[in-house]
Amino acid sequence: SSSSSSSSSSIGSGSDNSTITTNINKMLYSIILPTYNERDNLPLITQFIHDTFTQSALTYEIIVVDDSSPDNTLEVAKSLQKIFTEKRFVIVSRPGKLGLGSAYSAGLKASSGDRVILMDADLSHHPKFIPQMISVMDKDDKNNKSKKVDIVSGTRYRPAGGVAGWDTFRKLTSCGANFLATFLLSTGGASDLTGSFRLYERAALEEILPRVQSKGYAFQMEILVRAHKAGLKIGEVPITFVDRIYGESKLGANEIVMYLKGLLTLFLTT
């Protein structure tokens, strides 16, 4: 923790902008990582997050929400907590798989950040895109100064975004799911409805999360639908999604059926 505080003070030193820099650096970012069988990935993603935030002189905390992973992810998390300290590395341990939505809610309760980042722990989301997301959120909209961005979504479907390591079936499934959702639902022009790499103003997430009913992959989609309906502003940053190296993908026929059910429900009710 000493390294990040020293780098944050050195950025502002010797310049007239020191007070502005210090204020930005005081903002705390909470990164919520739901885990299930991620013992190999968790140390790597933790180090990547630490490096990214330290280099950008930003303050962070990681909230790991583990659903009793049989591969002992929890033990790995406890080891990491000793290295990164309890202040910066918080563990929420739950008795079995209770779903993504409730994992985010549990993580949000345990967090204290002004802004919240939701991302996957399996290395498919690289933290290097987070500073860009933050700059989109910090930027004033010239045409509409009163409306700041409340949510910044990492998108695979804009120029410079993309996917690495997926086979044709997985790419077609994802593109098809996303096309259906953008065609059927009102989301204010958001291009990646099923991605889960996003930065939220805390108030925005606290407002939207309790309203979300969907499970599985439809969950991410419903967040943006409800956010748009509530008048929240959504920004985007192109990201490269990399398929997991360690562990098994959690997408199966069951998830696809659940997604289509969720999509139909949202189409009929929102």
SS3 121: coil
pTM for the structure as a whole: 0.83
Identify the CA nearest to 218 among candidates 266, 156, 151, 157.
266
- On the question of pLDDT at 22 being above 60, the answer is no
* Beta strand ranges found along 128-220 (DSSP E): 151-155, 162-164, 198-201
- Which range is least confidently modeled, 37-46, 48-57, 130-139, 214-223? 214-223
Please give the DSSP secondary-structure letter assigned to residue 13: T
SS3 65: strand
pLDDT at 33: 98
Q: Rounded to whole angstroms, what are the CA distances from 4 to 54, 60, 167, 235?
A: 5, 9, 39, 27
- On the question of pLDDT at 232 being above 70, the answer is yes
Contact 43, 55 (CB under 8 A): no
Average confidence score pLDDT of the chain: 84
What confidence tens digit (pLDDT) does each residue in 61-120 have? 999 999 999 999 999 999 999 999 999 999 999 999 888 889 999 999 999 999 999 999
Which residues neighbour 16 within 8 Å (Cβ) at sequence distance 6 or greater?
A: none
What confidence tens digit (pLDDT) does each residue in 188-215 have? 788 888 889 999 999 999 999 999 988 7
Q: What is the DSSP string of 204-251?
A: HHHHHGGG----TTHHHHHHHHHHHHTT--EEEEE-EEE--SSS----
Q: 120-151 burial string, b = 16+ CB within 10 Å, else e?
A: bbbbbbbbebbeebbebbeeeeeeeeeeebbb
Exposed, middle or buried: residue 254 (CB in 10 Å: 0-12, 13-18, 19+)? exposed
How far apart, in whole angstroms, are the C-alpha atoms of residue 206 and residue 217? 20
